[in-house]
Copies of this chain bind each other. A is one copy, B any other.
Amino acid sequence: MFKPITIKDIAQALDLSPSTVSRALSDSYEINEETKKRVIEYAEQHSYRRNPMASSLRHGRSYSIGVIVCEVANSFFSQAIDGIESVAYGKGYHVIISQSHDAYEREVVNIQHLANRAVDGLLISMSAETKDFSHIITLHEQGLPIVFFDRIIDVFDTHTVTSDNKKGAQKATQSLIDRGFKKIAHLANAPHLSITAERLEGFESALRANNIPLNESLIRYCHHGGRIQREVEEAVRYFLDLDERPDAIFVASDRLSMGCLSAYNKLAPKAEHPAIAGFSNSDVLDLLQPGFTCIRQPAIEMGRVAMEMLIQLIESRYPVYEFENTVLETELISR
């Protein structure tokens, strides 16, 4: 139906051998300038395009990498993707994005799918629901380069990039304490996520530093990361039903913050809403009244670093045994 021009065609037309044409097009040094010019000119005129499948097959490399995140409609992840793409494109890699929607099954299916498409490596941020990691371990054992970012796991050694979640959580909590709040709740993400534990740690350590006793009953987890609004509403209703309602909440993620706000809007009059601070990379936040203080992660940078790490793994000629676990600083934005 549609037959693109090949190296062979060019060779025939210019009375050369395919290899010469190939050399000309890949800018080899062992070629006559004159010939090279002729080939390139002809190729351009006939809008020749190298067949990436043939080329990949030959090289044993697809020059594409897979990214799996919970969702792209999330400021943090979309910024991370921008970072990933900027590095990837510069190095000639293509990026295939896949969304788990924080659901275990979709993560498994999508990672399978990506692996089947022969990506050269994987950039993974874990789904909130995932507790079983065998689908990832298998791929790692088969030698597929994998780098984790943001939501990492520790089931095998590899490069990772995260932000300093503990310190970020500390800063956010401290900002609430500084504003005079004492009964501070924590709306947490799924319990088995790395970021959940780290942020909880920071939350607790801020309370401790200010001699505020930790009240376990003020911590609520969202096992689906807020994917199901009902679970957020249940947490909010729980807070509202407490004899001693929290006067402030440290929220673990952007998604949860939105869910939390809208749950409060639904369930209680404005006057009864607690103050909120939390992790978020969204820039619609300053449209909200009252504005809410947030911890911003260096998402683009994280994407860049992760991609560079992955490329290093992919292009390394020898097995890599030394791994880096980069931790980036967060930024407090007061509102």
A52 near B265 with CB under 8 A, answer no
Give the interface segment out of A74-82, A172-180, A202-210: A74-82
Q: How many copies of this chain are found per oligomer?
A: 2
Q: In the bound complex, what is the Cα–Cα distance between A298 and B99 (angstroms)? A: 20
Q: In the bound complex, what is the Cα–Cα distance between A150 and B78 (angstroms)? A: 21
Main secondary structure of the interface of A (DSSP, over half): mixed
Kindly provide the distance from the CB of A308 to the nearest chain B CB, expressed in whole angstroms.
19
Which residues of B sit under 8 angstroms from A96, Cβ to Cβ? 64, 94-97
Knowing A57-B54, A73-B75, A258-B287, the reply to whether A2 touches B118 (Cβ < 8 A) is no
Closest 10 CB pairs of A and B: A2-B143, A73-B78, A72-B72, A53-B57, A53-B56, A52-B118, A261-B287, A97-B97, A53-B53, A52-B117
Q: In the bound complex, what is the Cα–Cα distance between A115 and B4 (angstroms)? A: 12
Which of A's residues lie within 8 Å of B, judged by CB? 1-2, 4, 47, 49-54, 56-57, 62, 64, 71-75, 78-79, 81-82, 85, 89, 94-97, 99, 109, 113, 115-118, 138, 142-144, 258, 261-262, 265, 284, 286-289, 316-319
Show 6 A/B contacts (Cβ-Cβ < 8 Å), sorted by A. Answer: A50-B116, A51-B118, A53-B57, A72-B72, A94-B96, A94-B113
Which residues of B sit under 8 angstroms from A82, Cβ to Cβ? 99
Which residues of B sit under 8 angstroms from A64, Cβ to Cβ? 96, 117
> Residue on B with the closest CB to A72?
B72
